[in-house]
Structure 1
Amino acid sequence: MLSLAQVEEMIKTKLPDAQVKVEDLTGGGDHLQAIVVSSEFAGKPKIKQHQLVYGALSEAMASETIHALALKTYTPDAWAATGQNL
């Protein structure tokens, strides 16, 4: 089982400028939700943004260490427009 901090670091390795928040949805450590904010997402459709994050977690997902991931991605400007804190 990966810790939430390990999942965050895996994402940040692929997207070094990212702000990341990962939550465990079920308490079992394998159904996660992540919010990722990165300038790398600028000009990319949501599917490409998600593919970048999934690429960072591909090994954990292939081994089913992470069974499910609910993902929300934002550019820094889009995140700022939500008015939320990460």
Structure 2
Amino acid sequence: MPISAKELEEKLKNEIQATHLEIVDTSDGCGAKFQALIVSPQFEGKPLIQRHRLVHSTLEEELKDIHAFSMKTLTPEQWQKQNS
């Protein structure tokens, strides 16, 4: 069963309290490739590798069925600065 961007959004909001998400299915709807921008206060004080590990552990089951998942992870402060 294909994974939807909506399913990923809901899980990330619930599990890592993501405050902003942009998830795009880049596989033409088959749910095999996604690009994600994830903003969460849980990323505060964590280096990039720990942020990515947090996302990977959160989406562990879903990633078994996803061919490619690229992400950009930001803290709320970084997101605010980027969009000022």
Q: In the TM superposition, what is the alpha-carbon distance from 1:14 to its structure 2 partner?
A: 1.5
Letter in 2 for 1:25: T
**Structure 2 spans left out of the alignment, 5+ residues:** none
Structure 2 counterpart SS, 1:36: strand
Count of matched residue pairs: 82
Could you tell me how far 1:41 is from its partner in structure 2?
0.4
Identity value in percent: 34
Does structure 1 conserve the Cα–Cα contact (< 8 Å) formed by 2:12 and 2:18?
A: no
Provide the C-alpha distance between the structure 2 equivalents of 1:16 and 1:43, rounded to a whole number of angstroms: 16
TM-score scaled by length of structure 1: 0.86
The alignment yields a C-alpha RMSD, in angstroms, of 1.4
Q: In 1, distance between residues paired with 2:77 and 2:67? A: 30
* Conservation of the 8 A alpha-carbon contact between 1:13 and 1:56: no
Give how far 1:17 is off: 4.2
TM alignment of 1:70-85, pairs within 5 A: 70-83=70-83
Unmatched tracts of structure 1, length 5 or more: none
- Contact 1:15–1:40 (CA<8 Å) still a contact in 2? yes
Q: Is the 8 A contact 1:60 1:66 kept in 2?
A: yes
SS in 1 for 2:52: helix
1:36-81 Cα shifts (integer Å, max 9, x gaps): 001110100000011111111101112xx21110100000110111
**Secondary structure, counterpart of 1:29 in structure 2:** coil
Q: Deviations over 1:14-46 (max 9, x none)?
A: 212432110011213211001100111010000
Structure 1 ranges of 4+ moved more than 6 A: none
TM-score by length of 2: 0.87
